[in-house]
Amino acid sequence: MFVRPLGAVEHNPTALKLILGGKLRELRAAAGLDPADVDARLGFSRSKTSRMELGRHGCKAADAQALLRLYGVEDEGAVAEFLRLAARSRQPDWWNAFHDVLPDFFAPLVALEGAAAIIRAYEPFYVPGLLQIPAYARAVIESGPARLLPHEVRRRMDLRQERQRQLDQADGPRLWAVLDESVLLRRVGGPQVMREQLEHLAAMMERSHVTVQVAPLDVTASVGVGTGVTYLRFALADLKDAVYIEHLTDSTFSQKPQAVEQYRDMMDRLSACALTPRESLELVRAHIGRG
């Protein structure tokens, strides 16, 4: 029923919910049933089947067994594997500990980025959060629209560092970021903080799982991106690729194929026009030298 290994996905309850929900949807369709039929036959509350299939509702063991039995799944190994993953999917996500400072609109990205094979990002204003040093992150957080107390700023910094640790995992995602050239010119936090940030950025650019390109100003003007974009590419066919576009006080998160394809095409065009990773590293070092 499942293609193994699942890798980092096994440790991501949100991703597991989506995968299990997709499997349940496939099994239901193959059985010729619609969600309302299933709810009625199993005595579920209205829309419970749909919520499980969309990954919005965890699947309890009793519910999973009833669903698999209804759909005609009799293989004991397949049932046991489904139940094992269903139990893992009901474990709390690591980021739940930061619910006090994690905006609802940001949660979809944080929930799934650790399960991605590749995180592609375009940043027009700042160094990507996954590559920020603490002092730079503090300056970015404090410049936001929300009026935050000191402990809230620290909590958001801690959340950002926890997200960064996922890049160091053996099965963690690759990061491929394109920065607008203006990011290197914008002295966030002051000259010393910016110098330290660029030094850290240069060091990260030397790592095998991090690719950074700088897009000259005339390139970003012609491609017409307009805002920051994060694109999550998953290795498993059971997880749909996703795009995340953050606005001032909310965001757009989509796994709709048409939207995802449009942003993937845009990211491809932008990467093709940007400086190469080696040229980008040389430019970052040049800015450090001018600091």
Percent of the chain residues topping a pLDDT of 70: 97
Specify whether the CB–CB gap between 243 and 254 falls below 8 A: yes
pTM for this prediction? 0.91
The residue among 233, 15, 228 whose CA lies nearest residue 129 is 228
User: What average pLDDT does the segment 229-247 reach?
Assistant: 92
pLDDT the model gives residue 184 = 97
In terms of DSSP bridges, do strands 242-246 and 251-254 run parallel, antiparallel, or are they unpaired? antiparallel
Average pLDDT of the chain, as a whole number? 92
Instruction: Let me know if 268 is exposed, middle or buried by CB neighbors in 10 A (0-12, 13-18, 19+).
Output: exposed
User: What's the full length of the chain, in residues?
Assistant: 291
Q: Residue 226: is its pLDDT beyond 80?
A: no
What local confidence, expressed as pLDDT, does residue 48 receive?
96
Q: Cα-flanking dihedrals φ and ψ of residue 229, to 5°?
A: -135, 140
Looking only at the bridges linking them, the beta strands covering 118-123 and 174-180 are parallel
Look at residue 154 and tell me whether its pLDDT is greater than 70: yes
**CA distances (Å), origin 56, targets 24, 50, 108, 238:** 13, 9, 11, 16
Q: Are 244 and 252 in contact (CB under 8 A)?
A: yes
Predicted pLDDT at 38: 97
Instruction: Give the residue carrying structure tokens 């003007």.
Output: 221
Q: What is the pLDDT of residues 43-84, one digit of tens each?
A: 999 999 999 999 988 899 999 999 999 999 999 999 999 999
Supply the pLDDT for residue 57.
Answer: 86
Q: Is the dihedral of CA 215, 219, 223, 227 positive or negative?
A: positive
Confidence bin at 171 (pLDDT 50/70/90): confident
pLDDT value at 239 more than 60: yes
Q: Is the pLDDT of residue 3 over 60?
A: no
At 150, list the tokens: 């000191």
**Range picked from 134-138, 165-169, 270-274 for highest mean pLDDT:** 134-138
**pLDDT at residue 146 above 90?**
no
pLDDT reading at 10 higher than 90: no
The yes-or-no verdict on residue 222 having pLDDT over 80 is no
CA torsion sign for 28, 34, 35, 39 is negative
Rounded Cα distance, 198 and 36, in Å:
55
Domains contained in the chain, CATH given: 7-91 (1.10.260.40), 99-290 (3.30.870)
- pLDDT score recorded for residue 1: 63
Is it the case that residue 250 has pLDDT exceeding 60?
yes
Assigned token pair, 262: 């449009």
Question: How far apart (Å, rounded) are the C-alpha atoms in residues 83 and 74?
Answer: 13
CA dihedral 130, 172, 93, 108 (to 10 degrees): 50
Is the predicted pLDDT of residue 5 greater than 70, yes or no? no
pLDDT for 2: 61
Question: What are the φ and ψ backbone dihedral angles of 255, each rounded to 5 degrees?
Answer: -120, 15
Whether the per-residue pLDDT at 249 is higher than 60: the answer is yes
